[in-house]
Amino acid sequence: MSDRQPAVRMRGITKEFAGKVVANKDVNLDIYRGEILALLGENGSGKTTLMNMLSGIYYPDHGSIEIDGKHVTIGSPKDAFDHGIGMIHQHFKLVNVFTAAENIVLGLKDKGKFDLAAASERITEICRTYGFDVDPNQKVYNMSVSQKQTVEIVKLLYRGAEILILDEPTAVLTPQETDKLFAVLRNMRDDGKAIIIITHKLNEVKDISDRVVVLRKGEYVGEMLTSESTTEEMTTMMVGRQVELNIDRPRPVNPKRRIRVHGLTVRNSEGILKLDNVSFSVYSGEILGVAGISGSGQKELLEAIAGLQPVEIGSIEYVNDDGTIDQLIGKDPLEIASLGVALSFVPEDRLGMGLVGSMDLTDNMMLRSFRDGISPFTDRKAPKELAEKVVEELEVNTSSIETPVRRLSGGNVQKVLVGREISSSPTVLLTAYAVRGLDVNSSYMIYDLINKQKANGTAVVFVGEDLDVLLELCDRILVLCGGKVSGIVDGRYTSKKEVGLMMTKLGGGEG
């Protein structure tokens, strides 16, 4: 392999932030055409920073970059593009009110007059070549996440990108959408493009990549050929030690009905039906998984239980220890708490809903409890102790508890949020995509925390996207399909295929 000319040759790349945080140190990396390279590493290992230097967002402090054997200076995304490098970020950069085609040609300075029809034709041509499914005339705001991602990829190809970088492209996709993405990535590879995918889902690394390069703490630690290595070897190299990749699933102890949802129907603010006659129960000491294609009503379901979502009809009953029943519908989170219902909620949007990004750890710990006491002033002593406890027990990586949470990495943000939510010893714990964007270590720590809650008799609702995890962690799995309950299956005796079918078709039957 080393006799081939690499498309990209990065040598001795070092990048520091604010003169103290070393994001990358002396990294060497070769990227070849006709190859899918997986860049693997834990959160904060410098994967994204490294790729941002290749795509012109950051500029390295030291080191050199060669493209096709020629030295280049990449000082801006435009420079990167002139060398055929394009990157798909986790957050898409599309104009919502424009069509796919308009977004794709946006900012291009072609000679001659602006010809959208010709552009559309070329877009269709690209789609045919690689197997994309894009309607050039569809407006972006009408698109699903997966379609938007496709537009981003086509945009790069349209502009002649030869080297494509994808930053955690599957984090927002369903298994089916992921398969589709991987199929086009393979087509692009076979066409001679160089593809780099940043990820920490090992199954996907196994599935899609040809070669794996591992970063740890900003440094290059090694590489391997995917076909000749196991996921265990990858994890060990990534984490630096052997990691147990099994999730515990003890049998629920003495389960009692905790929450009973009956005939729940919810419309969103635009009047679109998001939940349709949903009924189920959650028991103490169990983890109820919720599976479904993204946007099938998971968000509305959790928010309805948490008192954040107006409900059209239906009932949500909370069963107290003494058998009495409280109706949760029509109550806001404060009223629910004042009933004595210890309900915790880890929402999908961590910094937009669960935490306040600009506030430090102490002030974020206070969000739930700041009203305590009759004094008109806030008491920061208990929240400060809680922040210190969470940092220590959950191994949150932060310079101090005075750091704004926005500055923490995704995994640490989640630890802070989960830490606060379980600190009140909830009887009900709702979690939405609790491990999205988290590395292996942090993910397993979160599973562990959730399992501890289960052992304490908490009724846990775990909305997830990774079916492998749902099948390993949950006692029962409720599958949503278009806002309806497609079925509730036993996590111990079901299969990925069965759940996958139920996600796309009510009841999951073949015929």
Characterize 150-176 residue by residue with b for buried, 16 or more Cβ atoms within 10 angstroms of its Cβ, and e for exposed: bbbbbbbbbeebbbbbbbbbbbbbbbe
Q: What letter would DSSP give residue 314?
A: E
Identify which of residues 295 and 310 has a Cβ nearer to other proteins in the complex.
310
Identify which of residues 240 and 310 has a Cβ nearer to other proteins in the complex.
310
Q: What angle in degrees, to the nearest 10, is found between the helix axes of 410-423 and 381-393? A: 120
Binding pattern for the stretch 328-367 against other proteins, x by CB under 8 A and - elsewhere? ----xxxx-x-------x-x-x-xxxxxxxxx---x--xx
Handedness of CA 118, 124, 128, 130 (dihedral sign): positive
Nearest approach in angstroms of CB 287 to other proteins is 22
Greatest Cα pair distance, the chain, in angstroms, is 77
Nearest approach in angstroms of CB 393 to other proteins is 23
Identify which of residues 11 and 260 has a Cβ nearer to other proteins in the complex.
11
Residue 462 contacts residue 431 (beta carbons within 8 Å): yes
Nearest approach in angstroms of CB 418 to other proteins is 15
Nearest approach in angstroms of CB 283 to other proteins is 25
Six-digit token pair at 99?
Answer: 């069509």
Exactly one of 12, 222, 330, 340 binds other proteins (CB under 8 A); that residue is 12
Identify which of residues 139 and 331 has a Cβ nearer to other proteins in the complex.
331
- Sequence letter at residue 362: T
459 beta partners: 428
Nearest approach in angstroms of CB 144 to other proteins is 22
Identify which of residues 239 and 356 has a Cβ nearer to other proteins in the complex.
356
Exactly one of 5, 76, 320, 400 binds other proteins (CB under 8 A); that residue is 76
Q: What letter would DSSP give residue 351?
A: I
Q: Say whether residue 468 binds other proteins (CB under 8 A).
A: no
Exactly one of 48, 55, 58, 411 binds other proteins (CB under 8 A); that residue is 58
Residue 441 contacts residue 243 (beta carbons within 8 Å): yes
Nearest approach in angstroms of CB 313 to other proteins is 22
Six-digit token pair at 506?
Answer: 């009510």
- Residue 402's nearest CA partner among 371, 350, 353, 358 is 358
| Of 92-100, 106-114, 147-155, 368-376: span binding other proteins (CB under 8 A) | 368-376
Nearest approach in angstroms of CB 58 to other proteins is 6
Q: DSSP per residue over 28-70, as a string? A: EEEE-TTEEEEEE--TTSSHHHHHHHHTTSS--SEEEEEETTE
Q: Say whether residue 183 binds other proteins (CB under 8 A).
A: no
* φ, ψ dihedrals at 36, nearest 5°: -105, 115
What does each C-alpha distance from 37 to 40, 214, 336, 384, 394 come to in angstroms? 9, 10, 49, 44, 32
| Of 131-139, 219-227, 375-383, 469-477: span binding other proteins (CB under 8 A) | 375-383
Identify which of residues 78 and 496 has a Cβ nearer to other proteins in the complex.
78
User: Residue 496 and residue 372: Cα distance in Å, rounded?
Assistant: 45
Q: List own/partner pairs for 91-94 with CB under 8 A and 24 or more apart.
A: 92/148, 92/149, 92/151, 92/152, 93/152, 94/140, 94/148, 94/151, 94/152
Residue 90 contacts residue 171 (beta carbons within 8 Å): yes
Identify which of residues 364 and 427 has a Cβ nearer to other proteins in the complex.
364
Identify which of residues 255 and 404 has a Cβ nearer to other proteins in the complex.
404
139 beta partners: 99
Identify which of residues 345 and 462 has a Cβ nearer to other proteins in the complex.
345
Query: What is the footprint of other proteins within residues 274-313 (CB under 8 A)?
Result: 306-308
* Count of residues of this chain found to bind other proteins when the rule CB under 8 A is applied: 44
| Of 36-44, 62-70, 317-325, 471-479: span binding other proteins (CB under 8 A) | 62-70
What does each C-alpha distance from 436 to 49, 252, 332 come to in angstroms? 19, 25, 27
Nearest approach in angstroms of CB 398 to other proteins is 13
Q: Say whether residue 89 binds other proteins (CB under 8 A).
A: no
| Of 72-80, 268-276, 460-468, 485-493: span binding other proteins (CB under 8 A) | 72-80
Q: Which residue has 């399909």 as its token pair?
A: 481
Identify which of residues 298 and 441 has a Cβ nearer to other proteins in the complex.
298
Identify which of residues 304 and 445 has a Cβ nearer to other proteins in the complex.
304
User: Residue 54 and residue 15: Cα distance in Å, rounded?
Assistant: 12
Exactly one of 370, 448, 452, 492 binds other proteins (CB under 8 A); that residue is 370
Identify which of residues 75 and 160 has a Cβ nearer to other proteins in the complex.
75
Nearest approach in angstroms of CB 259 to other proteins is 19
Binding site for other proteins (CB under 8 A): 11-12, 17-18, 21, 58-59, 63-64, 66, 71, 73, 75-76, 306-308, 332-335, 337, 345, 347, 349, 351-359, 363, 366-368, 370-371, 376-378, 407
